[in-house]
Amino acid sequence: MVETIIDDYVIERVSEIARLKLSDKEKEKFREEFERILEEFSIIDEIKVGEKELYYVVENVNVLRKDSKPKPFCNINGIKTNYNKIEDDFIVVPRNL
């Protein structure tokens, strides 16, 4: 069990951050509950994981595909034939406002 110090400053600071106005009775109840929560989390310190540090749960390193250069699109005239209106080598479309 780890000794924790929950003093008035900690309670005031947490209630200030949470924007709570606590009475003296509520502060004492908060102190008891907070110490109990910290006791429960202190169990984690007792877990022995061995010598090796665990960084990843799954040992897949890099499962992404390699980047490749895209092939340039050369059939611009084929696209232009699908449009009715072309001015100065540009495709004209209706305005959308």
Residue 19 is predicted with a pLDDT of 93
* Confidence at residue 29, expressed as pLDDT on a 0 to 100 scale: 93
Please give the pLDDT value at position 54.
61
Structure confidence by residue, pLDDT tens digits, 38-86: 888 888 877 776 776 666 667 767 777 788 888 887 887 888 888 888 8
Nearest residue to 34 (alpha-carbon basis) of 10, 9, 2: 10
- Those residues whose C-beta lies under 8 Å from the C-beta of residue 27, and which sit 6 or more positions away, are 8, 11, 15
Q: Give residue-wise pLDDT tens across range 7-47.
A: 889 899 999 999 999 999 999 999 999 889 888 888 887 77
Which residues, 6+ apart, have CB-to-CB distance to 4 below 8 Å? 35, 38, 42
Q: What is the pLDDT of residue 3?
A: 64
